[in-house]
C-alpha cells in the first residue's frame, strides 16, 4: 500500500489486512495510525463494521474491557444471530478463545494444569532432543529452510506428544491450521476452507473414538474424561478444545522461532552480541516477541455495550480488532521502538495478549524458542541468510506475522 493509497483509503477491508502488500508496509502504516487515527474503520464483510486499534494504552484497556465479548452469542439476540459462514463452524468454535467468563474460566481450568511452570520445565530435555534431531538431518547439507525443517516441526512434535496424537499427521495439521486462521470471506476461499475443516472434524471424530477405546496419560484423554462426566465439557467444546490446542500449540511458536532468527540475521550486531553473551537469550526472546509479534492482529471482539473512544461512538455489535504488532511498536511506551535491541529494558510487550485471554502456552513457547535458537546458534555458528532480505516474503494472513520461508546456510 503506497503513501498515496494510505492517505486515500478511509476504510480497510479484511482482504487488505490479509494481503502480502499490507504486511510489507504494515509498520509504517501503523505508525501513521498511532499518530493521527488510533481508531481506524474496517469493513469486515459478513462480520459487519469494525475498528482497528493501534495504540498500546488503548490495547491494554480494551483487552480487559468487559463491554467487549469473544462469544458473539453474548452480544446478538437469537434473531440477530448471523448464519454460519462455514458448515463446520459450530463444531470448531466452542473453545476458550471464543468464550467469556464464566465459560472461559471453566474451559481454561481443564487444560491449564498441563501448562504450569513445573510441567513445562519437565519438557526441557524432550525439546532439546527434538531440536538436535532436526538439526542432525540438515546439518550435513549446510542449508535449510528454517520454517519447514526446524521452526514448524519442533513445536508440532511437542504439542502432538502432549496431546497424544500421531506425529505422522503433522503435515495435515499445518494445512488445517492455515484454513482455521484464514479469515477470508471470498466465496472460493470459503468453499476450500470448509472442505479442509470438514476433513479436520472427521479426523477429530476418529481420534476421539480411538481415545475413548484406548485412553492414555495424554491431554486429549483427560479432556475426554471431562466430557464423559457431562458437566465440565460438552462434545462440541471437546472437539473445539482439541482443535485449538493443536493450532495454537504450534502456530505462534513457529513464527516466534522464524521471526527471531530473521531479526537476528538482519541485525548482525545483535546476533554477535547474543553469541558473545548467551545469558541475554531471555531478553532477546522478549525483544523478538515485541519486534516481530508472531500474532499481528487479535481475533475479533464484539461490542456488547456502546462506548466512546477517541470521540467516536463504538456501537453495539461493532467488531474490535487490536494490532498487537502496532501496540508493541508504540513510541510512547518503547523508546526507539523500531530498533531491535536484545538488551531492551522494561519490555512490556503484549505479544501474548493481556487479561483473561493471555496466552496459556506462553511459557512453553518461550522455552521452545530458547532451546531452538540456542541450539541453532551453538551448532551452526556461521548461520547466514541465503539470499537478500528483500527476497523474504511475509505470508498474506490476517492474524499472523509469518514468513513463507527462511532459507539459511551455515
Give Cβ neighbours of residue 173 (< 8 Å, ≥ 6 apart).
Answer: 156, 160, 246, 247, 250
The string of pLDDT tens digits covering residues 44-60 is 888 889 999 999 999 99
Q: What are the CA-CA distances from residue 77 to residues 67, 87, 143, 215 (Å)?
A: 16, 21, 56, 40
Please tell me whether residue 108 adopts helix, strand or coil conformation. helix
pLDDT class for 303, splitting at 50, 70, 90? very high
Q: What is the DSSP-derived secondary structure letter of residue 396?
A: -
Please choose, from the candidates 241, 353, 341, the residue with its C-alpha nearest in 3D space to the C-alpha of residue 295. 353
The string of pLDDT tens digits covering residues 194-236 is 888 889 989 999 999 999 999 999 999 999 887 766 667 888 8
- Residues 218, 219, 220, 226, CA torsion sign: positive
**Residues 46-57: b if buried by 16+ CB within 10 A, e if exposed:** ebeebbbbbbbe
The Cβ of residue 306 has, within 10 Å, a number of other Cβ atoms equal to: 12
pLDDT class for 150, splitting at 50, 70, 90? very high
Give the residue, 382 or 192, on which the prediction is more confident. 382
Element (H, E) at 390: none
Q: What are the CA-CA distances from residue 325 to residues 59, 134, 149 (Å)?
A: 11, 30, 26
pLDDT class for 10, splitting at 50, 70, 90? confident
Tell me what percent of the residues of the chain surpass a pLDDT of 90.
Answer: 72
Transcribe 2-57 into DSSP letters. Answer: -HHHHHH--SEEHHHHTSHHHHHHHHHHHHHHHHH-SEEEEE-GGG-EEEEE--HH
**Which of 27-31, 53-57, 394-398 is least confident?**
394-398
Cβ(85)–Cβ(55) below 8 Å: no
**Which of 131-145, 172-186, 383-397 is least confident?**
172-186
pLDDT score at 82: 65
Cβ(97)–Cβ(299) below 8 Å: yes
**Which of 64-68, 181-185, 236-240 is least confident?**
181-185
Query: How far from the centroid of its chain's Cα atoms is residue 105's Cα?
Result: 20
**Mean pLDDT computed over 229-257:** 88
Q: Which fold has domain 3-409?
A: Cytochrome p450 (1.10.630)
Tell me what percent of the residues of the chain surpass a pLDDT of 70.
Answer: 93
**Mean pLDDT computed over 336-341:** 98
196's grid cell? 479442509
pLDDT at 2 over 70: no
Please choose, from the candidates 43, 39, 41, the residue with its C-alpha nearest in 3D space to the C-alpha of residue 55. 39
pLDDT score at 230: 63
Transcribe 136-179 into DSSP letters. Answer: HHHGGGTEEEHIIIIITHHHHHHHHHHHT--GGGHHHHHHHHHH
pLDDT score at 7: 45
pLDDT at 69 over 90: yes
pLDDT at 1 over 50: no
Give the residue, 357 or 175, on which the prediction is more confident. 357
pLDDT score at 85: 59
Q: Are strands 12-13 and 39-43 parallel, antiparallel or unpaired?
A: parallel
pLDDT score at 184: 62
Amino acid at each position: 500500500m503506497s503513501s498515496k493509497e494510505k492517505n486515500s483509503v478511509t476504510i480497510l477491508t479484511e482482504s487488505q489486512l490479509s494481503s502480502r502488500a499490507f504486511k510489507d508496509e504494515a509498520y509504517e502504516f501503523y505508525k501513521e495510525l498511532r499518530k493521527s487515527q488510533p481508531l481506524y474503520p474496517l469493513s469486515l464483510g459478513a462480520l459487519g463494521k469494525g475498528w482497528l486499534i493501534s495504540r498500546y494504552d488503548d490495547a491494554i484497556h480494551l483487552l480487559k474491557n468487559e463491554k467487549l465479548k469473544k462469544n458473539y452469542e453474548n452480544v446478538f439476540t437469537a434473531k440477530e444471530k448471523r448464519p454460519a459462514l462455514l458448515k463446520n463452524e459450530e463444531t470448531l468454535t466452542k473453545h476458550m478463545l471464543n468464550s467469556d467468563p464464566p465459560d472461559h474460566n471453566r474451559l481454561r481450568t481443564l487444560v491449564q494444569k498441563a501448562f504450569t511452570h513445573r510441567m513445562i520445565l519437565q519438557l526441557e530435555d524432550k525439546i532439546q532432543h527434538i531440536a538436535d534431531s532436526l538439526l542432525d538431518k540438515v546439518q550435513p547439507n549446510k542449508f535449510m529452510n528454517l520454517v519447514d525443517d526446524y521452526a514448524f516441526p519442533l513445536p508440532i512434535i511437542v504439542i502432538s506428544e502432549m496431546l497424544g496424537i500421531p506425529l505422522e499427521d503433522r503435515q495435515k495439521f499445518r494445512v488445517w491450521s492455515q484454513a482455521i486462521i484464514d479469515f477470508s470471506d471470498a466465496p472460493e476461499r470459503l468453499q476450500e476452507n470448509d472442505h479442509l475443516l470438514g476433513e479436520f472434524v472427521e479426523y477429530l471424530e476418529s481420534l476421539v473414538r480411538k481415545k475413548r477405546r484406548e485412553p492414555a496419560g495424554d491431554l486429549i484423554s483427560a479432556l475426554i474424561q471431562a466430557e464423559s462426566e457431562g458437566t465440565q465439557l460438552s462434545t462440541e467444546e471437546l472437539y473445539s478444545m482439541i482443535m485449538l490446542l493443536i493450532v495454537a500449540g504450534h502456530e505462534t511458536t513457529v513464527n516466534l522461532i522464524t521471526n527471531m532468527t530473521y531479526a537476528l540475521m538482519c541485525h548482525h550486531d545483535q546476533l554477535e552480541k547474543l553469541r558473545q553473551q548467551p545469558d541475554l537469550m531471555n531478553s532477546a526472546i522478549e525483544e523478538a516477541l515485541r519486534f516481530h509479534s508472531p500474532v499481528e492482529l487479535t481475533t475479533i471482539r464484539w461490542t456488547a455495550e456502546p462506548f466512546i473512544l477517541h470521540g467516536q461512538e463504538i456501537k453495539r455489535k461493532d467488531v474490535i480488532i487490536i494490532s498487537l504488532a502496532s501496540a508493541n511498536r508504540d513510541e510512547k511506551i518503547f523508546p526507539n521502538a523500531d530498533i531491535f535491541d536484545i538488551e531492551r529494558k522494561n519490555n512490556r510487550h503484549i505479544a501474548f495478549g493481556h487479561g483473561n485471554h493471555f496466552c496459556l502456552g506462553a511459557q512453553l513457547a518461550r522455552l521452545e524458542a530458547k532451546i531452538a535458537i540456542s541450539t541453532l546458534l551453538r551448532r551452526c555458528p556461521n548461520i547466514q541468510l541465503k539470499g537478500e532480505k528483500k527476497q523474504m516474503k511475509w505470508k498474506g494472513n490476517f492474524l499472523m506475522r509469518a514468513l513463507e520461508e527462511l532459507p539459511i546456510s551455515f
